[in-house]
A and B are shown apart, each in its own frame.
Chain A
Amino acid sequence: MIEPFTFLSPLPSPLQTEEPDSGSIGPLTLKECVEIFWLLKGLRVSANLYTYHSVKFEEDDEPYFEEEFSAQISGAQTASCICEHEPYRRANKSGVFFHGECEGDGVVDFSIRGPFMVSEAGAENIPFGERKFMFAPEIEFSCGSLVVSSSGDYFNPGYVRVGNFPYEVLGKTFSLNAFIPKDLAETDANTTFRYSANASIFFEFHE
């Protein structure tokens, strides 16, 4: 149970407007946005990634090129982010809303920025309570040529999305995406590229 409190504004600071993308946690109502900001207790991230990439010409007995990667990642928030604090204290804190570190094969930082108001047409005529809101996750893991990212529409144009990993926040489903380079998606007869991945994010809220 959290310590009861009342803050004279839904959110502690004026919100900036940001263009949403398909990897955003949003669009959210103000109610959802408020609950995420004030009540997010933490999130846990885990991922298992594997890639195998080889090139073997017919005349050769041995592969000309061969590499294999695997990574196991798990992480949680660090003490520096806002949501690490008790809800009633969050209004006085500044910085990134959520910051986490993964451990495993390499140290990877990840974060969730926000909250933001969704940039939308005619927003000046829409009451604050009826605007759309969002959080912007910045999560990215890689293993060989395989990238799992929270980015959606505007990821590196040299990559193609080959899968996604859905997760739920307050009953709404969002997803992480898996990308591989375009040239590995369409290989010749001499090239072999195999991958596998799974990833999950679990949001935990205060009761």
Chain B
Amino acid sequence: MTELNYLWPLTDGLLIGLAAGLYLLLNGRIAGVSGLAAAAAGLTEDGDGKLGLAFLVGIIAGAWLAAALARKPEIVITSSPALLIAAGLIVGYGTRLGSGCTSGHGVCGLARLSPRSLAATAIFMAVAGATVFVTRHLIGVQP
């Protein structure tokens, strides 16, 4: 890969940040998908379920439109159903306990220099990297 290729992820990232920024300035809220999903499912006390659902519907429609108009996604998933269920449960529980995920802590929290989000992002990045190292290189679960 040439270095120029990394200009694309950078510009694609601008779209994600633009969406998060607009959501803050228009609706006054954090565009964190775990929080929005919990609110949409009626699992929070202070979240706005309708806004959460609207944002999630937008994500699905936006990805669908981009796939139809811009590029066809190539999605590589090698995990077994049992692993998908286990990981889903852990991600659901963990993001609620830790109050956020890659979007809420990563994109929004780092942008507002929140010390909690900085700590959270460092922790989940490190643990995810360690998990991949163990599963791929030590016990060889994944190809």
Q: Do A and B come from one complex?
A: no
B contact set with A: CB distance below 8 Å: none
